[in-house]
Amino acid sequence: MWDLLNLLIGVLVATFKPRARLEAEIVVLRHQLNVLQRTAPKRPKLTNLDRLFLVWLYRWFPEILSAVTVVRPETVVHWHRGGFRLYWRWKSRCLGGRPRVPVEIRRLIKEMSLANPLWGAPRIHGELLKLGIEIGQTTVAKYMARGRRPPSQTWKTFLKNHAPGIAAVDLFVVPTIGFKMLYALVVIGHDRRQLLSFGITAHPTAEWMAGQITEAFPWDQAPRHLIRDRDAIYGAPVMRRLRAMGIRDHPTAPRSPWQNAHAERLIGSVRRECLDHVVVLSESHLRRILKSYGTYYNEARTHLSLDKDAPAGRVIEPHGKVIALPILGGLHHRYCRI
């Protein structure tokens, strides 16, 4: 502070000095600054008053940048811009008006608009009023998410809504200990990934397939759509049976097993978790194995697509002692409490 006062006093006294004397003092001061810049061990430290003084001079006399040597001219300009921002931030401060909307409410409005793309501002405003949140509808429209999805459901939602009416069938081959080929049919429901039925035969025919479909779907609980591949076994008897039961047939494209992904995934699980670890002795032996695995698959095995639940549903058992019940001779276990 005293340095600035001495400087101001020096400026006032300089107005009464001859011009030649002032120029000589300026030359001496510049030379001293050059010496200091060459010999100073580190950068000089400026106080906020020093910065304010340089900025004030620059505000009225921009030509002084050519005379600034202790700092770079760009630094003085940076200080001036920072002060300009602080000034207008102070000028633009809130002096009243509407209260600010809490961050929690703004986040809730955005989450509602993203989770419900069919809802507009009036619908979201109504939901907020039912939650006891008093806010204007225009404010809701202001904080809704921009660029939302078009007003239609996604494919994931569409398939989930129609999953209860979709089933899939597929065949796979199982060799026995005597190198005899057995054919196993699996029928899966898309709703809960539940294994609805399985059939085993050594000689599959269209009539046998039609009978298996009748056993898998009761007449009053038949699905609306059935997905299958283009195997020749799905002949005329199968088509007649499907039409009689009111089931729409949906064959997949040639060489496109991914279009029947649920059935293919089930067959892969049966092989990896069961058949790859046993030697099938006969048709009856395979039927017993698949029956045991089917019970385990529907009632005990957890699925990622079902939020770690079983297709038939498992009750949470928080109390009691944990015991392990062997399945398929100890190949798998079901854990429960007693």
Residue pLDDT, tens place only, 153-165: 677 777 788 899 9
- Spatial separation of the C-alpha atoms in residues 37 and 258, rounded to whole Å: 76
* Residues 211 and 108 grouped into a single domain: no
Residue pLDDT, tens place only, 167-200: 999 999 999 999 999 999 999 999 999 999 999 9
The better pLDDT of the pair 210, 29 is held by 210
- Spatial separation of the C-alpha atoms in residues 253 and 128, rounded to whole Å: 48
Q: Which domain holds residue 27?
A: 1-42
* Residues 180 and 314 grouped into a single domain: yes
Cβ-proximal residues to 62 (8 Å cutoff; 6+ apart), any chain? none
* Residues 177 and 296 grouped into a single domain: yes
- Spatial separation of the C-alpha atoms in residues 59 and 62, rounded to whole Å: 6
Q: Is residue 96 part of a domain?
A: no
* Residues 242 and 116 grouped into a single domain: no
Percent of the chain exceeding pLDDT 90 equals 47
Structural domain count, the chain: 4
- Spatial separation of the C-alpha atoms in residues 166 and 170, rounded to whole Å: 14
Look up the CATH number of the domain holding residue 191: 3.30.420.10
* Residues 207 and 313 grouped into a single domain: yes
* Residues 284 and 294 grouped into a single domain: yes
Which whole number is the average pLDDT over 127-149?
A: 86
Residue pLDDT, tens place only, 236-279: 999 999 999 999 999 999 989 999 999 999 999 999 999 999 99
* Residues 329 and 227 grouped into a single domain: yes
* Residues 109 and 85 grouped into a single domain: no
Residue 69 in this model has a pLDDT that exceeds 80 = no
- In terms of average pLDDT, the best of 19-28, 42-51, 144-153, 166-175 is 166-175
Could you tell me whether strands 332-337 and 225-228 are parallel, antiparallel, or unpaired per DSSP bridges?
unpaired
pTM: 0.58
The better pLDDT of the pair 264, 115 is held by 264
Q: Is residue 318 part of a domain?
A: yes
